[in-house]
Amino acid sequence: MRPSRFYLPKIDDPPSTIFEHLLQRFPQVPSDVWRQRVTQGLITLSDGTTMREDSAYRYGLMVYYWKHVPFEPEPLEEPIVIFRDDEIIVVDKPHGMAVTPAGEHVERSLLFRLEKSTGLTDLAPMHRIDRDTAGLVLFTINPAGRAPYHQLFSEGRIVKEYVAAAHVPDDLQGRRWRIENRLETGDPWYRQRIVAGAVNAITEIELLDVRTGCGRFRLFPTTGKKHQLRVHMASIGCPVVGDPFYPTIKERHEGDLPLQLIARSLAFIDPITGVERSFTSRRELA
């Protein structure tokens, strides 16, 4: 597993040591955790040295550190490899698994599980889906071939289809929507909100069928903002089943359904081989 990293920025009144900067930058991490990492030699610098507690703050250095979460439980389900060749791996991610290490999800993350199972250490996700969302994620294997696949997403040359189960009000008007608006960080920080301004989030939504107040939808995002599909579904009055954040924050309970949102398919022309690719998740809505 690769270390996390961050850059030491130019600061008008910098702290005297990197250790002090760590405490300021990551207030949620107790000082004794950082001290233990330093003692164990788990923090290194881009100049080739191992950080000490008295290492001076130097603008421009990169700091590399290894995360460790004590007693991290095993994931409830392992990801499924849908496709692999010399350049890419397409993986079917389960609900509740972060794509990359974050917070208390380190060894449970998709990247860690995939590196562990394949032995490949240069994997990189070309896009992200929420931890609560299940479905397809495309990884590149070789750093040298990464740029063409990244451009598929940045230039909109890949078709992404999602499926969702959502609450449907009796007075819902229409069966197709094109949502175009601007999303920014909301309150609390982990939610997104719709604001005025230049459009940065676009989703095509189609209602397939309705059964006793619950509908099955297809969603085609042409942008990839955080929580985009969840916010857009809530904005048309059809929040996704199992969503704890939208339209309001709800407390989770044991036995609750996971978020009923699946990244169902990816389709594109392979930028290296020229082959037409199409992959479909094996996961189903509850």
CA-based nearest residue to 218, from 210, 203, 208, 232: 208
What average pLDDT does this structure show over 52-69?
A: 85
CA-nearest of 110, 122, 102, 115 to 79 is: 110
- Check residues 112 and 148 and name the one with the higher pLDDT: 148
pLDDT of residue 68: 62
Angle at 230 between CA 225 and CA 233, to 5 degrees: 120
Length of the chain: 286
Q: Is residue 112 helix, strand or coil? A: helix
Q: Who wins on pLDDT, 150 or 37?
A: 150
The pLDDT value recorded for residue 149 is 95
| Residues 168-179 pLDDT 10s | 999 999 999 999
Cβ atoms of 284 and 258 within 8 Å: the answer is: no
Confidence of residue 217 (pLDDT cuts 50, 70, 90): very high
Identify the pLDDT of residue 155: 92
Which pLDDT score, from 0 to 100, does residue 152 have? Answer: 93
Backbone angles phi and psi of 194, in degrees to 5:
-85, 130
Cα-only R_g, the chain: 21
- Alpha carbons 174 and 209: distance in angstroms, whole number: 12
Do 90 and 83 touch, CB atoms closer than 8 A?
yes
Domains observed in the chain: 4-65 (3.10.290), 80-157+268-280 (3.30.2350.10), 160-262 (3.30.2350.10)
Bigger pLDDT: 120 or 194?
194
CA distance linking residue 93 with residue 81, whole number of Å: 9
Mean pLDDT in residue range 170-199:
94
Average pLDDT of the residues in 112-137: 91
Q: Are the C-beta atoms of 67 and 101 separated by less than 8 Å?
A: yes
Close Cβ partners of 169 (under 8 Å, ≥ 6 residues apart) = 237, 238
What pLDDT is stored for residue 210 in this prediction?
95
Q: How far apart are CA 32 and CA 38, in angstroms?
A: 10
Q: What is the pLDDT of residue 183?
A: 97
What integer best gives the mean pLDDT of the chain? 91
Reported as a pLDDT band with limits 50, 70 and 90, residue 259 is very high
pLDDT at 129 over 80: yes
* Residue 39 reports pLDDT greater than 80: yes
Closest CA to 26 of 97, 103, 100, 101: 103
Kindly state the average pLDDT of the residues 82-99: 95
Tell me the average pLDDT across 257-272.
Answer: 97
In which residue are the tokens 């059964």 written? Answer: 211
pLDDT at 32: 87
For residue 52, what pLDDT is reported?
Answer: 93
Q: Which has the minimum average pLDDT: 109-118, 255-264, 266-275?
A: 109-118
**Among 112, 106, 117, 108, which Cα is nearest to 81's?**
117
Which of these, 224, 229, 237, 218, lies nearest to 259 by C-alpha position? 229
Average pLDDT over residues 136-148: 93
β-strands 261-269, 134-140: how paired? Answer: parallel
Tell me what the mean pLDDT of segment 157-181 comes to: 96
Q: What is the pLDDT of residue 42?
A: 80
Q: Running DSSP on this structure, what letter comes out for residue 145?
A: G
pLDDT computed for residue 70 by the predictor: 57
pLDDT at 113 over 80: yes
Residues 231 and 214: their CA atoms lie apart, in Å, by: 17
Section 197-211 average pLDDT: 97
Q: Is the pLDDT of residue 26 over 90?
A: no
In terms of Cβ atoms closer than 10 Å to its own Cβ (0-12, 13-18, 19+), residue 101 is: buried
More confident residue, 123 or 277: 277
